[in-house]
Structure 1
């Protein structure tokens, strides 16, 4: 039986449980087989190439495990996608290998996506993580005027009450933060 026939027949029985077909074990090139996975691959490894070091040489195991988890929880490819990656990493078998820099990189990507996609009156966003003491700020383009930190970035913020939290910012002054919101 040809390999593709085998996959076609198997897909009808178990395809409803898997986010992608069960590719052969020589999966070095499985990303090339299904173009629908490429946006997720690039969203994961282009933003944080350091993740490839957690699963050398090409990150296929980490990618497959993450995609299975993402499919199960219906993770959207919106601004919270990278925070979902963080949640998965911190609960996966890779959790002992995850460095704070990986989490910070993903938080920066999430903040940038919020700025690019938000159409509210808010002028910026701050993200917090329970496991870290740093906050990630990002501002809409019309706000970023200089290179020095804005007053809101110097403000002492309360710790995040959930694993990941966010707050839209109404001003660049120290009073822009209102409260933490749970990341969906």
Structure 2
């Protein structure tokens, strides 16, 4: 099966519904036989997605920069934990180690990861599928803004089309699996 990278929030102070979404994401990903690739943290949604995967016997691969290991937020229970020198190195390694990308709700770090993988796809550095889970309309304002960029030709429609938007994790995994087969 595939190595699917999940981008999501690592904040310690999230509403329980987002932690539950992450836990269910990890569990569903693992039940379908995929390896979880994550940012290697043990807190917030990032920790929950890894715990969810492991709770049903899934394999986890974490990629984390040394400065976050030093802050004691590394997911030491990962089946494999790769430590990088920088956040930039982390993103590059996550892209290299993954077959596909799934983005859950998150903040600046999540958006940074999403835009890095999306931008590199528009530059033909990879052709890996990417899905954004717009749970509860979380990303609707951003998606409306991006649609406006395309309307003003700041973003090519072909680039916009590289990202698939769905409203649930099962739908996201269905899309990724169909594109990986």
State TM-score, norm by structure 2: 0.30
Rg larger for = 1
Bigger relative contact order (CA 8 A; separation at least 6): 2
